[in-house]
Amino acid sequence: MTERPAPAGWRRNVWALALVVFVAFVGFQSFAPFLPLYVRELGVADPGRVALWSGLIAAVTPAVSGLLGPLFGRLADRFGRKAMLIRSLVAFVVIMSAMGLVTSVEQLFVARLLMGFFAGFTPMAMALASVSAPREKVPEAIGLVQSAQLLSVAIGPAAGGYLATRFGIRSALFATAGLCALALIGLIVLFKELAPGPSRQTSARLPLRQVFDYPHFTLVLTLLLVAQFVDRSLALLVPLRVAHLPGVEAVAATSGLIISVAAVAATVSANLVARLAHGIPSAHLLMIAFFVGGPLCGAMALADGWVSLLVLRTLVGLCLGGAITLAYALGGQIVPSDNRGAAFGWLAMGVQVGSAISPLATGALAAASLPGAFLFDGGLAWIAAALLAFGARELRSR
């Protein structure tokens, strides 16, 4: 199967897509940190039940989205990826607005459950970026879109915190709905999708599991799961580590500073590896990132002050921040464009599985040993590096 050529003006398309992703994810990040507070505002007083409901509500959307990811991907291959993104954003506007009007935690859970049936926004954006650019520019296109998503972590929580403090938590939900509406308008107006080629109908009839016949696709799926697991794990471990450091009084502010700086470092990393991938195989870069990032994760367990923790977390962000970008780029290299929606749907399942199991596993590990949880993340990164070093020689030459 041959690749369709990228359309003229592809760079404008990718920048438009990055803008849409950035606006939407600033909205998502504006509310996400305040979910436990919203659960409490809805009448759940017991701290244990607040934690339970917060975990369930946070997990249900990625769980449903991950299970349905391959199906969403196949539908995108058949009907168009831009159409699937429009579908997601329209649903987000409606559901986020409804979440701002709920009166019980059960209603909030149902709203988040429904959102899972319309999610899949990120993998479809990555798939759309991958087919919008020339083959040799795919890492750059994915890196730009991934950078837009990462940068939102440095801006969204601060903006949401201001709104929640000044106008109440519900205002952050309505702001998220408004930003999703703005992203929807930007997508419709600014992005010009490549017209379907004659091969699309043929590829749409292929079995959904066909993508696993491509060499090393399962490995790429595993690498994405590991990268997402480590990223989500560190987001949980950093505030816990800060709380145990001597002399830190403003735990929330210090943790927020570290997380924001790490997000900027990850953004720089995603852009940098995308450019380096022009001359160095993506798999080789990914192997180096996991190999160097592993010991840095473990070293965070030994940090004796918030400054050293900040430095180490920033270095981890620089090493592993581009891991997801590189893994998606590898997926784009392995799978032809006509099947890429389905492929990225499966890859999204790996990301969502990592998102779902990371808080549970990390919480259990941290309860037993907080330093051990950091060491576990470092060990996972080294296992990923070993998989690339010893099991993917052909992939590392691409």
Please report the pLDDT score of residue 186 as a whole number. Answer: 92
| Whether 145 contacts 322, CB under 8 Å | no
Please report the pLDDT score of residue 280 as a whole number. Answer: 83
Domain covering 9-193 in this structure, CATH number = 1.20.1250.20
Cα–Cα distance for residue pair 65/177, rounded to 1 Å: 19
Cα–Cα distance for residue pair 14/11, rounded to 1 Å: 5
Could you read off the pLDDT tens digit of each residue along the chain, which spans 398 residues?
444 445 557 788 889 999 999 999 888 888 776 777 788 888 888 777 776 787 788 778 877 877 777 777 777 777 777 888 899 999 999 999 999 999 999 999 999 999 988 877 777 787 788 778 777 777 788 888 888 888 887 788 778 777 877 888 888 899 999 999 999 999 999 888 765 444 444 444 445 566 777 788 888 889 989 998 998 888 878 887 887 888 777 776 787 788 888 888 988 888 888 888 877 888 889 999 999 999 999 999 998 889 999 999 999 999 988 888 888 888 877 877 666 666 777 787 777 778 778 777 887 888 788 889 899 999 999 999 999 888 766 665 55
Cα–Cα distance for residue pair 194/10, rounded to 1 Å: 9
Please report the pLDDT score of residue 207 as a whole number. Answer: 56
Q: Distances from the Cα of 372 to the Cαs of 231, 305, 369, 376, in angstroms?
A: 16, 18, 5, 6
Cα–Cα distance for residue pair 185/176, rounded to 1 Å: 14
| Whether 57 contacts 112, CB under 8 Å | yes
- Helices and strands (H and E) in the chain: how many: 16, 0
| Whether 109 contacts 57, CB under 8 Å | yes
Q: Is the pTM of this model over 0.75?
A: no
Cα–Cα distance for residue pair 138/126, rounded to 1 Å: 10
| Whether 137 contacts 15, CB under 8 Å | no
| Whether 147 contacts 18, CB under 8 Å | yes
Domain covering 208-398 in this structure, CATH number = 1.20.1250.20
Residue 384: closest CA among 294, 308, 311? 294
Cα–Cα distance for residue pair 159/355, rounded to 1 Å: 24
Structure tokens given for 151: 């940068």
Please report the pLDDT score of residue 3 as a whole number. Answer: 47
Domain boundaries, the chain: 9-193, 208-398
Amino acid at 317: G
Dihedral over Cα of 358, 377, 346, 24: its sign: positive
Structure tokens given for 187: 């997508």
SS3 content of the chain, % helix, strand, coil (to 5): 85, 0, 15
Residue 262: closest CA among 233, 302, 220? 233
Cα–Cα distance for residue pair 268/42, rounded to 1 Å: 39
Please report the pLDDT score of residue 396 as a whole number. Answer: 57
Please report the pLDDT score of residue 308 as a whole number. Answer: 93
| Whether 294 contacts 379, CB under 8 Å | yes
Dihedral over Cα of 151, 152, 154, 159: its sign: positive
Matching fold, domains 9-193 and 208-398 = yes
The residues near 354 (Cβ < 8 Å, ≥ 6 apart) are 224, 225, 226, 227, 228, 229, 232
Residue 185 backbone class (left: φ over 0; alpha: ψ -120 to 50; beta: rest): alpha
